[in-house]
Structures are given as C-alpha cells and as structure tokens.
Amino acid sequence: MDAATITSWMREIDAVMRVERDHLVQLDAAIGDGDHGINMVRGFEAVVQAIDADSTLPPGKLLILSGRTLVSTVGGASGPLWGSALRSGGRVLGDQASFAGPQLVDVLAAALASVKDLGTASVGDKTMVDALEPAVDTLRARLESGASVDDALDAAADAAEDGMRSTIPLQARKGRASYLGERSVGHQDPGATSTALIIRALQKAVTAEA
C-alpha cells in the first residue's frame, strides 16, 4: 500500500458520502440536527481537491493533509474528530513511501486513540467509536492470525457495520444525541454510520489494488 491507496480511499469516501448524504441527514435529524451528511460531503469533497492539488506527497503526508482539510472545512464535531484521526494516523507513517498490514493497524489505532482522546468517548456511548474500535481490533486480530490484508480489512469493515448497528438500542452519552436522553434509544448513530462507510471505503480501495 502506498500514496495511491490513500488517494483512492479518499475518493471512495467522497463518492460514498454523496450517495449516502440523505441517509446520514435522516439519521442525524432523528437524534441530532440533521446536517451530518451535508458536512461529510463538504469535507471529503475538499479533501479530494486538496489531494489533487498536491499529488506527490507520501501516504502519511496525504493523510495529514486530508485531516487538516477536514478540520478547516467541516466544523461541527465530525470535522475535528475525523481531522485529528487522519492527522494522527498519518504521523505514524512519517515520510515512508509504502506500508504493509501491521502499519495500517498502527495508523487506524492512532486514529482511534485521537478520537477517543478528543471526544472522551468509549464503546457503548453511541458514537463513531462504536464502529471504529471493533474495526481496529478485528483488523489487528485477523492479521495476527495470518489473514491477508484484503480478508482482514473485509472482516474489519463487517465489524464496523456490526458496531454501527449495535448503536441502535443504546442511549447516547456523548455528542448532541445525548441531550435527548432516553429518546435517543432506537436510532442508529449517524457518526457510527459514516465511520462504517469510511472503513468499507478503505477495504474497497485496498482490494481494488490487487
């Protein structure tokens, strides 16, 4: 995996956010303020533009550029959270031109750590952490037990989607949905949903390279 992997990951995210925009808006309208899809589209559109303008960067620097772009264009909570996640992930790779499975785990683990640190959220709070943490854990476990990167990522994306669905019965304890108290129960978390989309986009980007 290399810079092209990151570029196609960001393009995949941009494409899927456009398709899922209204669905994310709908989910957010139920327990938030209905702008999540709009914000994610605005952010990743800007990320793709930024990457196109600076396509010679190594993968780590591309992630940092993507994160910085999200922070400066999205606003809301998802801007700083995904922005910091990608920047932290990018720092793991430094200036190297390519990376393998174990380092991808380190990238995603760093991203998860920064989300949890900045958002002070844990699994079960009905946030993006409910999708991201199982994805990272699954990716690590599968690779350690000898799976290929493609298979491990597929399982990680499945785990993120399971985590996304696991938010439905939860009562939100972080973010805007927490203001609803018990009324947040029964709704799928929009942040966990876009996170599952982002992990699935990574799986597609990596698998397409083979």
Partner 1 sequence: MAVETNLMRKFLNAPADVVKESLAGLAAAHPDLLRYDAAAQILVRKGAPKRGKVALISGGGSGHEPLHGGFVGVGMLDAACPGEVFTSPVPGQMLAATKAVDGGAGVVHIVKNYTGDVLNFKLAAEDAADEGIKVTSVVIDDDVAVQDSLYTAGRRGVGATVLAEKIAGAAAETGADLTKVTDTVKRVNERARSFGVALSSCVPPASGKAIFDLPEGQIELGIGIHGEPGRRRAPLGTANEVVDVIVEAVVSDLKPKKGSKVLAFVNGMGGTPLLELYLLYGEVDKKLRAAGVEPVRNLVGSYITSLEMAGASLTVLELDEELIRYWDAPVHTPALRWGV
Contact positions vs partner 1 (CB under 8 A): 25, 29-35, 38-39, 42, 71-81, 118-119, 171, 173-176, 178-181, 183
One-letter identity of residue 207: T
In whole angstroms, give the CA distance from residue 165 to residue 175.
18
> Is the backbone of residue 170 left (phi > 0), alpha (psi -120 to 50) or beta?
beta
In whole angstroms, give the CA distance from residue 161 to residue 197.
8
- Least spacing, CB of residue 31 vs partner 1, in Å: 8
| CB closer to partner 1 out of 12 and 125 | 125
SS3 98: strand
| CB closer to partner 1 out of 30 and 123 | 30
| CB closer to partner 1 out of 81 and 192 | 81
| CB closer to partner 1 out of 101 and 191 | 191
- Least spacing, CB of residue 171 vs partner 1, in Å: 8
* Beta-carbon-side half-sphere exposure of residue 21 (alpha carbons within 13 Å): 12
| CB closer to partner 1 out of 74 and 153 | 74
Q: Where are the alpha helices (DSSP H) in the chain?
A: 3-31, 36-53, 59-73, 78-93, 101-119, 129-144, 149-166, 190-207
Question: Other CB atoms closer than 10 Å to residue 10's CB: what's the count?
Answer: 26
- Non-local CB neighbours of 205 within 8 Å, separated by 6+ positions: 5, 8, 9, 11, 12
Q: Can you read off the two tokens belonging to residue 165?
A: 């669905």
| CB closer to partner 1 out of 177 and 201 | 177
- Least spacing, CB of residue 100 vs partner 1, in Å: 32
